[in-house]
Structure 1
Amino acid sequence: MSTDTQGITLTLTHHGTSHTFSFSSDATISDLSDEVASSLSIPPSNQKFMISKLGLLKPPFKDPHLPISSIADKKITLMGSTAAEASSIEQASFEASRRVSRPRPVQKVQAYKTRDWKKEQEESQYTFLTLRPLPYLPNPSRSLQFLQRLKDDAGIKAAMRKHKFTVPLLTEMNPIEHTQSNHEGTSRTLGLNRNAGEVIELRLRTDAYDGYRDYKTIRKTLCHELAHNVHGPHDRKFWDLCKQIEKEVEGADWRSGGRTVGDEEYYEGGEEVDDHGGWTGGEFVLGASSAGGAESVGQESSQGMSRREILAKAAEERIERLRRLREQNEQSENAGSGSG
């Protein structure tokens, strides 16, 4: 940011790219909105400005006369889609809805079978009201189909209806914005729950954007995020509810006969991650361990420990667990050979 007697220079970031604008010294945030609409083709209705220390501002502004000089020295991130991107999302949504509404062969039903109107009403109320992929990533229509699959999942629908969960927005996250690497390894955020269920974000894509992650992993992440609608911190109440939702989702999944999809166990995270217990500000990080499990370094046992000490303790526990498992396998093999 630079200021002089003639004007103000302001820089903001949009989709990882910096944009610099120049304004007169008496310019307001409304002038910034007009300039973004003109230069970046992002209409005011799609604009959201994340400003450090101020939070989220979007048109129409509560204070349209807020001086630009008061925010020019702050970090500003612009979120929003261009008119063309928004149009592509609407087209993808239309195509998806058209496929869903395509006529299907008529099936014979029992003569006096009645519809469960209460269930249908609850499912329309306790659900995800809006599905939104990221329009600037490749093939947003595929992400929309993935989100629709989660919304239509029989187990997810049953759990949301039971707990009366209504989530205004289910969307995907950009992997590159939620991946951190350092000398100790790579940490990947799998999900976010904002404002107790106002928005849930899920990591759908692979790191290279060339595919999508395992459906069972993402569905379990969604169960995890739904539990944060009720409990914020990772205490015992949270983990009890999380496990309950996971069991309900499995039990109500008619396609797998009440079992895990594909008769396989859920993916528990195959990468070692430095995540301080798996959660930071409501983020579900790949490789996290559930509280009370064999892999967890619990809050009580890790009090006063440094990050390196926590990692070392977790590594020791994993080694010990592998040793016990190897001994059990050897005992089973010996017992089998002796019985012959």
Structure 2
Amino acid sequence: MADSPMSDSEQSWLTLRITHRKATYELSFPEDATITDLFNEIEASLDIPVANQKIIAPKTPLLKAPFKNPDMPLLDLKGKHLTLMGSGAAEIQQVQDMAERVAKRNAARMAQRSKARHATTTRRNPQDSQYTFLQVRPLQDLPNPDRSQKLLLRLKEDPGIRAAMTKHKFAVGLLTEMEPLSHTQTTHEGTSRILGLNRNQGEVIELRLRTDAHDGYRDYKTIRKTLCHELAHNVHGPHDRNFWDLCHQIEREVDAADWKSGGHTIGETSRYTVSGRDEEEEDYPEDFGGWTGGEFVLGGVKNSSTAGMSRREVLAQAALERQRKEVDSERKVLEEKRQRSPPSDESK
């Protein structure tokens, strides 16, 4: 007698625990469900579009659409702690609405400026709030968003940045941080990191504040230099001679205003570390690679041995390699000491 098909009540199910912005959700699926089913269920349950979802799981590459294997079984994630990153459709619409308001405001300002060309130049006020970042916002689903908020506000109130924005009449709708993992790519050619993004000539500027592992913050002066680059994209898109002339001009103006205001940092540190680990920052050069589009891309040293590995695995491998070198060094010292020591008398 042939076996009858398994009913829904008899079918095996698995439950995944997913954390999103400090809230934990339990989602149940048939055991033959795939990664595509998981992302579709998250969109239906949490109103986060599939394209905006990113999932971090231990010993697993970053999961995001489009998938290398859409039929990857969810059983591979069973028992793992899953962290979901992504903004809901309502939040995305809010940012788009803000960008539209800024675009309309900039258009009205340009029309007003063309009418007033015959008027005498008015005195510029460095305190003028018209030329600034209208909003600053950290990523709430990453650790210590209050520290990111303070760093973004420090950039907003930086005397050099304020002076440059006033001089060039820059108004930016939103200054925010970017999620480092989703803007890092590891291939057979090496690792590249996007340090900054300028969307639609000043509607939104994103800066890479954190190290890849989310446990530290990058050097303040390096972040500020990235911001100078992104501000230059308010005027010029392509990286031509005009762009670079403006970019370097803004950098000089920021440095000059920094010294005039007494804001120089000689003799004091400008590195922000959350948990005391900042080795990763030392592993990068501060300005290696190139800029593409509205992005500042930091390219790492090429290393075929890390091809296909996740960012966390690359960092773990680097730590193990440092530890191995330390052990080898200690072993060599002990061996040299043993060879210099006289033979023992135990054999007599």
Give the TM-score normalised by structure 2.
Answer: 0.48
Give the TM-score normalised by structure 1.
Answer: 0.49
Relative contact order, higher structure (CA 8 A, sep 6+): 2
Structure number with bigger Rg: 2
